[in-house]
């Protein structure tokens, strides 16, 4: 019994991280059709910032979370201003925005990832933080992964609440539904676009910071998370924040149980199988009505 609980919990823990990463990407893609394929690279930046703060300055990683969020939010504003604003303004159609932003994302990916290799090298980095086991019932968990899970779910729920109940969230949802209509009722896109893009990167950074508490980090760590995030978005439905959370947790569970019954080296195959199956059977997401 304890074993199954541990397995399910480990799936939910990775799933929680998936949800946060996917939520950030979903905001950018759902709102502006910016397919930011370099999303995972900013997750990696968040992880390295936390690692630096902890090993060089001895700052508690949890206390550093807000700093990571703010730094990446500002990075997001800059990246949006330098790269994506021009694309959204000069592209004649939504499809061209998608294609061009994808290419720019690839450029960013290579830029950021290799800059990280140049600065920090290809070695695995890590630090020990709350690594003691916590026993709940007859299952044992690492303290840091429980903490990461808690924060991941909290971040997703906070984002959900903002989207659902605040004026800002209402404006964002309106823009997701109809960009032109939202502008007609006086929603300020010039302000919202960069802000939402920044918020997406901030979420990626927080996810990276949480990951750095649990796993070792490398400059190439972000790429798989970008692909996973896309799978989660497909599962949960485009532009749906609640779907992201549910899809992330679901994918985490599928991976954990799938790897247990087959082999850990098949993890990628499993995620892709889920991705392709959902795209073929329910292209609007599992929870679409």
Partner 1 sequence: MTLREILGAIAAGALVLAALPWLASDFMLSLALTCLMYIGLAVTWAMFSGATNYLSLATSAFFGIGAYVTAWGFGTLPYALVVALGGLAAAAFASLVGAGILHLRGAYFAVLTFGLGELVRHAITYSEKTYAHTVGRVLQDAPESTAVYWTVLLIATAAVAACAAVRASRLGLALAGIGADEERAQTLGVNTRRAKIAGFALAAFFAGALGAAVAVRWTYIEPASVFNPFIGFQTVLIAMIGGAQTLAGPIVSAVVFSLLTELLRLQFPYAYLIVLGFLLIVLVLYLPGGLASLISRWRQARA
What is the SS3 string spanning 241-280?
HHHHHHHHHHHHHHHHHHHHHCCHHHHHHHHHHHHHHHHH
Alpha helix ranges (H) inside the chain: 2-32, 39-57, 61-79, 85-90, 94-120, 143-165, 167-177, 179-184, 189-214, 222-236, 241-261, 267-281
**4 near partner 1 (CB under 8 A):** no
- Pick 60 or 114: Cβ nearer partner 1: 114
Q: Which of 179, 158, 283 is nearest to 233 (CA)?
A: 283
**81 near partner 1 (CB under 8 A):** no
Using the rule CB under 8 A, which residue among 83, 159, 245, 249 binds partner 1? 83
Q: Which of 78, 103, 98, 92 is nearest to 28 (CA)?
A: 98
User: Residue 114: left (phi > 0), alpha (psi -120 to 50), or beta?
Assistant: alpha
Using the rule CB under 8 A, which residue among 131, 272, 284, 288 binds partner 1? 272
Using the rule CB under 8 A, which residue among 76, 243, 275, 285 binds partner 1? 275
**42 near partner 1 (CB under 8 A):** no
**27 near partner 1 (CB under 8 A):** no
**35 near partner 1 (CB under 8 A):** yes
**250 near partner 1 (CB under 8 A):** no
Using the rule CB under 8 A, which residue among 39, 54, 100, 193 binds partner 1? 100
Residues that bind partner 1 (CB under 8 A): 29, 35, 37, 83, 86-87, 95, 98-100, 102-104, 106-115, 117-118, 227, 230, 234, 263, 265-266, 268-269, 272, 275-276, 279-280, 283
């Amino acid at each position: 019994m304890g074993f199954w609980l541990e397995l399910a919990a480990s799936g939910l823990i990775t799933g929680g991280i998936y949800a946060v990463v996917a939520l950030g990407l979903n905001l950018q893609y759902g709102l502006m059709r910016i397919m930011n394929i370099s999303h995972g690279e900013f997750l990696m930046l968040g992880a390295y910032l936390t690692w630096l703060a902890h090993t060089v300055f001895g700052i508690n990683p949890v206390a550093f979370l807000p700093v990571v969020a703010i730094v990446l939010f500002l990075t997001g504003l800059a990246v949006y201003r330098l790269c994506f604003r021009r694309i959204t303004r000069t592209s004649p159609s939504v499809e061209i925005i998608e294609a061009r932003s994808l290419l720019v994302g690839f450029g960013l990916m290579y830029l950021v990832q290799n800059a990280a290799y140049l600065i920090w090298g290809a070695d695995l980095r890590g630090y020990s933080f709350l690594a003691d086991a916590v026993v709940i019932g007859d299952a044992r968990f690492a303290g840091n992964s429980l903490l990461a899970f808690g924060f991941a779910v909290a971040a997703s729920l906070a984002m959900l609440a903002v989207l659902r109940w605040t004026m800002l969230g209402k404006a964002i949802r309106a823009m997701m539904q109809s960009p032109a209509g939202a502008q007609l009722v006086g929603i300020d896109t010039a302000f919202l676009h960069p802000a939402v893009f920044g918020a997406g990167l901030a979420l990626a950074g927080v996810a990276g910071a949480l990951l750095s508490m649990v796993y070792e980090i490398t400059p190439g760590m972000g790429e798989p998370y970008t692909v996973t995030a896309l799978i989660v978005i497909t599962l949960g439905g485009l532009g749906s924040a609640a779907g992201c959370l549910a899809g992330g947790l679901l994918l985490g569970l599928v991976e954990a149980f799938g790897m247990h019954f087959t082999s850990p080296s098949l993890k990628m195959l499993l995620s892709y199988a889920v991705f392709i199956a959902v795209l073929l059977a329910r292209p609007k997401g599992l929870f679409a009505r």
